[in-house]
Amino acid sequence: MGMSVGGGDDEDTVLSDINTTPLVDVMLVLLIIFLITIPVATHTVKVDLPKDVNQPSKIMPHNITLAVTSDGQAWWDQTPIHDHADLMARLEKVAAQQPQPQVMIRGDASARYEAVGKLVAACQEAGVMRVDFVIEAPHN
């Protein structure tokens, strides 16, 4: 390893070379730290996620459509739902039918998630086994 000690007569000359050794040392240490911590950070619990099946639902006459408008008003087919008790009474009748009709929930794009979540929770509470969400097909 060589070292430059100055060039000649004048001892007060300034060396304009940049010493990159500390920079390289710091970068190598950071590289080693990142190589060690990245596998730890990406480690997750292995689960078998459900596969997406994009099949259009068949609209049958006995299917129930629940809709949520942008202002949070819930609708049963074309009839507004007034309160939670009204919704539960209707859903319990549906849950008692054999086979159960399909319940489809349509939520306005600007509706709050809370309003749609309340419909899903009510379906679960009433014992409805199949709840589907109706979405608009993406435009290609």
Which letter does DSSP use for residue 58 in this model?
P
Predicted model pTM: 0.57
For residue 40, what are its two tokens? 């730890």
pLDDT tens, residue by residue, 39-76: 766 666 677 766 766 666 666 667 888 999 989 899 99
What is the largest distance, in Å, between two alpha-carbon atoms of the chain?
105
Q: How confident is the model at residue 9 (pLDDT cuts 50, 70, 90)?
A: low
Query: pLDDT, tens digit, for every residue of 15-29?
Result: 777 888 889 999 999
Domains of the chain: residue spans and CATH: 64-134 (3.30.420)
Element (H, E) at 29: helix 21-41
According to the model, what pLDDT value does residue 14 have? 74
